[in-house]
A = this chain, B = another copy of it.
Amino acid sequence: MPFQNHTDRVISQLKRTGAFLTVKNGERVNSMTIGWGLLGIHWRMPIFVVSVRRSRYTYQLIDTAEDFTVSVPRDHAWDEALAFCGSRSGANVDKYEKCGMVMLPAREVQTPILEGGGFTYECRVVYKTPLDLMELAPGIREQFSYSAGDIHTLYFGKILASYEA
């Protein structure tokens, strides 16, 4: 599907119960729940931006990974798994077994995708930028307690494939 199709539903689902961000780095794979995401065009390319805090297990993977995938459920079927993957760290628990998530090989990237995971985006990291607190509105800086150092880094993924899984 053209990557921009369903963007309104994707954003609505991010707001509702979230989506799965999956990253594979070497032998390690993890899926975390994200409620933030930006979609559109940059460098004349289709881009999906995801953000990960330094304290997250996913940060250890994505910061040196080449790619990631995003799976955006179309309905409530994954709500429980999203809640679980958003509250438990993949460093300590096998989320896939626990949540009955079957991962399949992607078409264009190393990171796998979630079987039946809905709107699916395969992305290659083309840019990353850690938050610069000096340029952030003070209210946001405080709201997310960034001054303690646990900042978000934004990863810009070029969308290499998008489809419904």
A binding-site residues for B, Cβ under 8 Å: 2, 4-8, 11-12, 14-15, 35-44, 47, 49, 51, 126-129, 131-132, 135-137, 140, 143-144
Residues of B within 8 A of A7 (CB): 4, 7-8, 11, 39
Using Cβ atoms and an 8 Å threshold, which residues of chain B touch A4?
A: 7-8, 11-12, 15
Tallying the copies of this chain within the complex gives: 2
Given contacts A7-B11, A137-B127, whether A49 and B43 have CB atoms under 8 Å apart is no
Instruction: Give A7 to B47 CA distance when docked, in angstroms.
Output: 14
Given contacts A8-B5, A11-B4, contact A38 B44 (CB under 8 A): no
Q: How long is the Cα–Cα vector from A40 to B37 in the complex, in angstroms?
A: 6
